[in-house]
Amino acid sequence: MTELVLPNHTNQLGNLLGGQLMHWIDICAAMSAAKHSQRVCVTASVDKIDFHQPHKLGDVVTLNASVNRVFNTSMEVGVKVFGESLKEGKRVHSNSAYLTFVSLDDNEKPVKTFDVIPKSDDEKRRYKEALRRRDTRLKSRKKK
């Protein structure tokens, strides 16, 4: 997904608002989850997001999403964000985020979705690491 940073996306410094970027991350991940599961998917959780560097007014922001692993009704989606200043023509990785989506049936109840079959080395690594992140999420959920 590609977006152009426009004036209504920015703060007083001309930097992309964090909330706007989080919205794009959520939408990009939601489309990825929905395309994979062919169902409506809702955001169940978003892991911590760090903002390492600003995106400036006029920059192009590209978001790449990947369904890393399906558990049962839920799945982890990873989103990698890149910023590009058109003047400099340099693409910089600015953020990564992990989100959990749940696929819903026609009665809006969680439903099992298709498994992910990792093929490339990167896909296999993400698939393996997603299980570890899920364990951490479930533990922190139990504590609350």
Ligand X SMILES: CC(C)(COP(=O)(O)OP(=O)(O)OC[C@H]1O[C@@H](n2cnc3c(N)ncnc32)[C@H](O)[C@@H]1OP(=O)(O)O)[C@@H](O)C(=O)NCCC(=O)NCCS
Least distance CB 99 / ligand X (angstroms): 9
Query: Contacting ligand X (CB under 6 A), which of 17, 34, 40, 43?
Result: 43
Annotate 101-125 with DSSP letters as a single string.
EEEE-TTS-B---PPP---SHHHHH
Footprint of ligand X on 110-129 (CB under 6 A): 110
Question: Which residue, 122, 124, 133, 73, is CA-closest to 99?
Answer: 133
Backbone angles phi, psi at 36, to 5 degrees: -65, -45
Footprint of ligand X on 54-113 (CB under 6 A): 71-74, 100, 102, 110
Q: In angstroms, rounded to a whole number, what is the distance separating the alpha carbons of residues 139 and 133? A: 10
CA angle 91, 34, 58 (to 5 degrees): 25
Least distance CB 102 / ligand X (angstroms): 4
In this complex, which beta carbon is closest to ligand X, that of residue 52 or of residue 114? 114
Q: What is the dihedral of CA 65, 35, 67, 124, to 10 degrees?
A: -110
46 binds ligand X (CB under 6 A): no
Least distance CB 97 / ligand X (angstroms): 14
Place of tokens 């799945």: 75
Least distance CB 16 / ligand X (angstroms): 21
In this complex, which beta carbon is closest to ligand X, that of residue 93 or of residue 141? 141
* Residue ranges that bind ligand X, judged by CB under 6 A: 42-45, 71-74, 100, 102, 110, 137, 141
